[in-house]
Structure 1
Amino acid sequence: MNDEIQLWLEMLRSPDVNDRLTAVKTLQHLGDEETIDALIIALKDENFVVQKIAISALWEIANPVAIPALIECLVSTFLEIRTEAASALNELITQNDLLLLLDKLESNNVNLQLNILVLLRKIHAIESFSAILPFLESKNHELREAAVTTLRYINQLEKCPQALNLVFDRETIVRRAAALTLGHLQDTDVITILCQALTNDSDWQVRRNAAISLAIHENYQAISALKIALDDEHWQVRKSAVQALQKIPDIQVMPRLIQALTDEYADVRKEAVIALGNLAHPDVINPLQQVLDDPDKEVAIQAQRAIQKMQTDRIVLREQ
């Protein structure tokens, strides 16, 4: 450590907070890797402003040697410090830090556990699955929500029976996260459970997320539930249900999709136009032509495209 940095390190030990602030700001301005040790010391300062500046400085230097010290900041009583440290770590951690993160996950500190669960999403490692699993049954609903969300980011994960029942969790935030995660799982009962959430949950965001997941699965078993969802009281649920039906075109829902062309929300009408175009049935041309004068320009454009595509496809078929 050179003499200049040593001087600022001594100031970091000053009882005067203004001296410490001056020192940490100067170290940040220097931005030199030789300042890392001094900045790590500043992370333990009693003043949270000093701590935050030190975190920002280490973030800018971006040397992975600071990762263990930054992880310790995740147990801070200051939300601002935890947030800043988590942001820095999200950019610094790599696959090489997996074992360190899993070790810290065994801590009893909820703030640390929550942040580690989020950081694991960047690594995507299937090796973290067994460590995440117990948190799906945590008494803390924030941990359950974080854990079931993290499952979506794990590579090669196809089944997780423990995650299925979280779609019926007593906490709304957990159900919302679980409904999205089930879109990435292949368990036997996934489609049935998502259909139940879509048609029965009291929260519209859970219902919307269930429809989004059903769109990912593209499973014809979901058609009946999606058909019911076309009458949902919330337009975003109706929109997501129509988007799912675009992926699984079936003639039986054609009448309901035609009705959706008169939905009060343009987003729903536009998606219905696309879904009808995907059906490519002669009976949808007339309803689509009536939408050409829709007050929303995008709806009209999509209707024109759908009609043109069907007409072009018909000409190609005749020529063949």
Structure 2
Amino acid sequence: MITENDSELNQWLEMLRSPELSDRLVAVKNLQYLGDEEATNALLLALSDESIAVQKIAISALWEIGNPVAIPAFIECLGSADADIRQEALSALNELVLPTDLRQLLEALHRDNVNIQLNILTLLRKIHDAQSLPDILPFFASDVPELRATAVTTLSYLNQVEKCPQALALISDTDLNVRRATALSLGHLTDPEVISILCQALKSDPDWQVRRNAAKSLAIHAECAAILALEAAVSDEHWQVRKFALQALQKIPDERVMPALIRALADEYSDVRKEAAIALGNLSNPAAMPALQQSLDDPDKEVTIFSQKAIQKIQTLLQNSQNG
């Protein structure tokens, strides 16, 4: 028995086959409004339409329905020549894929399509599975810089991956974005060479974003072996490098860097001055009191607040030592 819904569905299916774009747009929009799983097969058919507009509506409708049967079709869309189609499909897959879809994603990763590979590498970050690592490693040597950068970023999302010697060399990559991504990812690894590699990048990489990312990663590691490199970075030419070097030094208070911290209280950027005040508070050395008291007149309210907090920390420490 043909129901009213079946009749309506057949009507839109027929219109999807029309040579007229206007007919196909009407059909796919009505299938979107229909919005039930019975429309899924028709919408999957619409994903192959020659019109980008029809494809976009079909992706949105299938995304709303949320049936995982659409996952293989969405993976195909990741290879589209249209950037909006790729982005829409990626967003839908990011909600639909589950750890049980890992094998399907890894199979697609080996397709000879850079757009599919880039997007699958991004999707693997949601699953976090270390089983992906052998499939990701070959992309570190890809001829496509964007693939190298995307792969090394995905590395940092994988659970329980602490060492990856193949990633270390990417800190010297010729491509800026690869080095930037590597500098961040190395913050999540425990290879013995990581600290010295990050320190070298912090000191000598010509790109300020690489240096900033190296400082961010050194803050994660909080290793005393990085203190001298971080102290030098407090005088870096770019304020963001100075800021994140100070954040790292907050985690590893060391008397040797106090002069650099005091100089940073006079930095032209308030963000840097604030981080210097916090670092001096963590250091809690009474010798920093005069500089911190001067900072109470800073034109930036946050700087004055954190300078006051630093002074209070030092005063509390002094009182406790006197009482003890």
Q: TM-score, normalised by structure 1?
A: 0.98
Find the aligned partners of 2:82 and 2:271 in 1 and give their Cα distance: 42
Q: Report percent identity of matched pairs.
A: 64
User: What 5-or-longer segments of structure 1 have no aligned partner?
Assistant: none
SS in 2 for 1:153: coil
Q: Which residue of 2 aligns with 1:228?
A: 232
Find the aligned partners of 2:244 and 2:262 in 1 and give their Cα distance: 16
1:122 deviates by 0.4
1:43 aligns with 2:47: yes
1:195 aligns with 2:199: yes
1:12 aligns with 2:41: no
Q: Which residue of 1 aligns with 2:208?
A: 204
Q: Which residue of 2 aligns with 1:281?
A: 285
Render the CA deviation track for 1:26-64: whole Å, top value 9, x for unaligned.
111111111111100000000010001000111111121
Residue range with higher mean Cα deviation, 4-13 or 143-152: 4-13
1:168 aligns with 2:151: no
Q: Counterpart amino acid of 1:197? A: A
Find the aligned partners of 2:292 and 2:220 in 1 and give their Cα distance: 26
SS in 1 for 2:288: helix
Q: Which residue of 2 aligns with 1:259?
A: 263
Which residue, 141, 144, 152 being the options, matches 2:156? Answer: 152
Which residue, 72, 75, 94 being the options, matches 1:71? Answer: 75
Q: Counterpart amino acid of 1:107? A: R
- Asked whether the equivalents of residues 74 and 93 of structure 2 are also in contact (C-alpha less than 8 Å), the reply is yes
Find the aligned partners of 1:258 and 1:200 in 2 and give their Cα distance: 24
Q: Which residue of 2 aligns with 1:309?
A: 313
1:230 deviates by 1.1
Matches within 5 A, 1:99-178: 99-178=103-182
Find the aligned partners of 2:90 and 2:6 in 1 and give their Cα distance: 30
Find the aligned partners of 2:236 and 2:315 in 1 and give their Cα distance: 33
- Asked whether the equivalents of residues 168 and 194 of structure 2 are also in contact (C-alpha less than 8 Å), the reply is yes
Q: Counterpart amino acid of 2:162? A: E
Which residue, 284, 299, 302 being the options, matches 2:303? Answer: 299
1:271 deviates by 0.1
1:317 deviates by 4.3
Find the aligned partners of 2:232 and 2:322 in 1 and give their Cα distance: 37
Q: TM-score, normalised by structure 2?
A: 0.97
1:315 deviates by 2.8
Render the CA deviation track for 1:62-94: whole Å, top value 9, x for unaligned.
121111111111111111111111111111111
Render the CA deviation track for 1:100-158: whole Å, top value 9, x for unaligned.
00010111111100000000000000110110011011111111001000001000000
Which residue, 71, 74, 90 being the options, matches 1:86? Answer: 90
CA RMSD of aligned residues (A): 1.0
1:15 deviates by 0.6
SS in 2 for 1:75: coil
Find the aligned partners of 2:316 and 2:281 in 1 and give their Cα distance: 12
Render the CA deviation track for 1:257-288: whole Å, top value 9, x for unaligned.
00000000000000000000000111112211
Q: Counterpart amino acid of 1:144? A: R
